[in-house]
Chain A
Amino acid sequence: MKKMLAVALGLTLMLSAVGCSAPKENTNASGKTQISIGVWPREKDAERYAQYQDLKARFEEANPDVEIIPDNWSFSLETFLAKAASGNLPTLYEVYFTEGQRVINAGYCADLTEAVKKYGYETKIKDSIKNLITKDGKYYMVPQSSYNMGLYINKPLFTQAGLVNEDGSVKVPQTYEELAEFAGIIKEKTGQAGICICTANNTGGWNFLNVAWAYGTEFMKQDESGKWKATFDSPECAAALQWIKDLKWKYNAIPETSFATGTEQQKYFGAEQAGMFIGTPPQDELISIYNMKADDICIASLPAGPAGRFSQIGGTLSVVKEGSTPEQIDAVFKWIEFVSNSYTMSEDAKQTMENSYQIRANKGLPIGFYQYSPWADSAEKATFEKSIVDKYANIPAANVKEFNNPPEDLKLKPEEPVNCQELYAALDACIQEVITNKDADPAVLLKQAAADFQRDYLDSAE
């Protein structure tokens, strides 16, 4: 009977027990502040692992009160929630620009406002990026690295299609119209797809933003009361969608599949089955997986549309786990400075940056394009990075001339401010429809998508 009672008691307890895990230790026996750092290289990746172990040793020597705990975890959609809900995120972890607002809304990051001010970042972070990392005036993240999207051009295919200048360099399309024509020429001359655009798993919308902006689309607007209105039910956006539709039905210049993501872009491009794609550098996989020659990769600025030339900014953000102590946050910022992820350039930071490029060069990973900087006043850092890039470049300068010296009119823009993933999903659906249904009407599709997006997400947002 006693046993029965114990069992019954146990069962009731289980029913009533809710969350509230025990607080985690964040200082060890010797009183050091412990911080775990995510995206730590794995031992298999010998060179980078050695670099990071060395960084750790030097950092701990310079900051005797801090202990670094390496953590291999890097962001992925499937595992993020598992880590977050169980309190197992590293103290410092990285998310992509596209995830920033989602993570903030879900509440898995610490308020960094104080540290951001203390370390003087507030005035240094570019205004265009602030939207991504703040909510209600508070900072929850700091930019780590960033890049802007460019047009990848497959040199062998362009050469085969005769799209080259007299000096042998590839002809770069300057407008989306021209891009579509080039794509058509490639299809005609080589039989391969002219361009691989993303169409699935929310990457379709993410790619499409660049085109839509260039055609003059405004996706959403905030009114005086702070409410958001979906405004992409517009002729401009329809024209951009029509551009994709033409790629498929007029030029027959995209691969057959309607489920393309970044992976497929690399696959087709790497196998010389697509002449172009819109992507973010560095695209290491083109070389590491698809064995492309660096000489064959060209990167240009995205073309212009009727409303100008736009390129979306992407990158990674540094996030500190929710519930971290002020000491931990401070230690994290010291680490960020130490590994050259800040706007300043200490000797340590310079050393780290050069080492990183050296390792990339040894592996043959693409180097040669200049990264977009998230920091407003970063002359010193930018100049230094450019000199390092030039020193280790393996992509010929001619191939990236257009990307590194972008046309005057190029405007860099971060993704849309609210419900971006949901917007991407809605756009994905429209894109899939126009490339699978010859009779689809872009204007009608967008009207429906905008209305649904408004009602399902913008109206129900807090």
Chain B
Amino acid sequence: MLKKHRFGKLKNDFSAYILMFPAIFLIFLLIWRPVYQGFILSFFKLQGYEPAEFVGLQNYKDIISETLFKTTVFNTFKYVGLSLLVGFIPPIFIAVMLNEVRWCKGFIKFAIYFPAISPVIVTSLLWTFIYDPSAGGLLNMILLKMGLPAQQWLNDANHAILYIIISMTWSGFGSATILYLSSIKGIGTDMYEAAYIDGAGLWARVWHITIPQIWRIVLLMLVNNIIGVFQVFAQPLAMTGGGPNNATVSLSLLAYRYAFVYLKNEKALAIGMITFVMLVVLTVFYFFLEKRVTYED
């Protein structure tokens, strides 16, 4: 009886793995194997894509010693930092506000998620019109109408990253808001009512009830946000090409340049691996946070 059961389990396991095979196969082939290969090839000098000569850490040394690489790392962290300020925090408060609004809620939800459905390429190009630094740009047109001076927007090396982040926030804040909103909805009115009866003001209720309740999601979104922005690529590619004066080059864009513009794949791979290591650190941080949050629950 016992033997038969064990055999049945084995058979079951086997058929389960058959069902899972497509995913395992594809993930292995398209995610894990390329990462492994990239790691190995990053220690070689390449002729096109073929390894030509083992050079050890030379590719890494070359990359790290480049001034542009330092700028790029700095930029990438600037992207992340600004996205936390501009892109990460507002959706929390927008969700809180939206949850209170009693009119046209359906329409508001529809509208704020609308930017997210158009492809990134179109959005980025659309924003280059918005940011056009001449008097013909959409934003400058508005500024001039209001009697304010026209701005340089993406031409402004100090703030170009901020403007790119704003355009990314435009496409992304809708889905974040809706996630928070559904989580806030789960809180229910009882707790708020009790707080109201105890005399807690609105701000106190947000701070002591809403935020703690959605804290877990906030943390998860935080890490997702960091990891996503860390790989920013399409927006600077389409909007600034990395300029002005390399002020908006990101790690992914630099890797792309090496691979497809300069045809120096070994350097692209080295940048990729360095990005990978940085992200592993962030991932560990993610699991650490998740454990702690789960534990606290």
Show the binding face of A for B, using Cβ within 8 Å: 4, 7, 11, 14-15, 19, 77-78, 81, 84-85, 102, 105-108, 199-202, 255-259, 421-422, 425, 428-430, 432-433, 435-437, 448, 452, 455-456, 460
Contact = CB atoms under 8 A, between A and B. Distances in A.
Interface in B229-253: 240-241, 243-246
A255 B245 CA distance: 17
Nearest to A322: B48
B260 A78 contact: yes
Contact of A421 (B246, B259, B262): B262
Interface stretch (B62-70, B165-173, B206-214, B274-282): B62-70
Residue with the highest number of chain A CB atoms closer than 10 Å, among B47, B62, B262: B262
19 contacts: A7-B21, A19-B49, A19-B50, A84-B48, A200-B241, A202-B261, A256-B133, A256-B134, A258-B155, A259-B240, A259-B243, A430-B245, A432-B243, A432-B244, A436-B152, A436-B157, A436-B244, A452-B66, A456-B68
Nearest to A7: B21
B133 A257 contact: yes
Nearest to A108: B48
B132 interface: yes
Given A102-B263, A106-B263, A107-B47, A201 B241 contact: yes
Chain B CB within 10 Å, residue with most, of A15, A257, A421, A455: A257
Interface string B80-116: 0000000000000000000000000000000000000
Contacts of A430: 245
Given A106-B48, A456-B68, A433 B245 contact: yes
A323 B64 CA distance: 36
A81 B260 contact: yes
A452 B133 CA distance: 30
Nearest to A437: B157
Contacts of B33: 14-15
A183 B67 CA distance: 36
B156 A436 contact: yes
A436 B29 CA distance: 46
A200 B261 CA distance: 14
Nearest to B21: A7
B287 interface: no
B28 interface: yes
B241 A257 contact: no
Interface residues of B, number: 35
Contacts of B244: 258-259, 429, 432-433, 435-436
A169 to B, nearest CB: 31
Interface in B21-71: 21, 28-29, 33, 36, 47-50, 62, 65-68
B178 interface: no
A81 B29 contact: no
Contact of B68 (A84, A259, A452): A452
Given A15-B36, A257-B134, A432-B244, 4 more contacts: A81-B260, A85-B49, A256-B155, A436-B155
Given A14-B33, A421-B261, A452-B68, A200 B134 contact: no
A402 B259 CA distance: 42
B154 interface: yes
Contacts of A428: 243
A202 to B, nearest CB: 8
Which of A200, A259, A430 is most buried by chain B, counting CB atoms within 10 A of its CB? A259
Nearest 5 pairs between A and B by C-beta?
Answer: A432-B244, A256-B134, A256-B133, A433-B245, A258-B155
Interface of B: 14, 21, 28-29, 33, 36, 47-50, 62, 65-68, 132-134, 152, 154-157, 240-241, 243-246, 257, 259-263
A309 B286 CA distance: 61
A455 B241 CA distance: 23
Contacts of B36: 15
Given A421-B261, A429-B246, A259 B241 contact: yes
Contacts of B49: 19, 85
A85 B66 CA distance: 27
B172 to A, nearest CB: 24
A252 to B, nearest CB: 12
Nearest to A460: B62
Contact of A456 (B66, B243, B263): B66
Nearest to B69: A456
Nearest to B52: A107
B132 A456 contact: no
Given A77-B261, A437-B157, A14 B29 contact: yes
Contacts of B240: 259
B15 to A, nearest CB: 11
B243 A256 contact: no
A422 B36 CA distance: 29
Nearest to B62: A460
Interface centre among B47, B50, B245, B259 (most CB of A within 10 A): B245
A245 to B, nearest CB: 13
B155 A257 contact: yes
A452 B67 contact: yes
A18 to B, nearest CB: 8
A294 B244 CA distance: 35
A255 B66 CA distance: 32
Give the interface centre of A201, A202, A429 by most chain B CB atoms within 10 Å: A429
B243 A258 contact: yes
Contacts of A422: 262
Contacts of A258: 133, 154-155, 243-244
Nearest to B133: A256
B38 to A, nearest CB: 14
Nearest to A419: B262
A11 to B, nearest CB: 7
Contacts of A84: 48
B263 A105 contact: yes
Given A430-B245, A452-B67, A257 B132 contact: yes
A180 to B, nearest CB: 20
Given A19-B50, A433-B244, A259 B154 contact: yes
Contacts of B157: 432-433, 436-437
Contacts of B156: 436
A85 B155 contact: no
B109 to A, nearest CB: 36
A102 B134 contact: no
A4 B17 CA distance: 10
A256 B132 contact: yes
A200 B249 CA distance: 13
Contacts of A429: 243-246
A324 to B, nearest CB: 16
Contacts of A4: 14
Contacts of B257: 425
Contact of A11 (B28, B48, B66, B154): B28
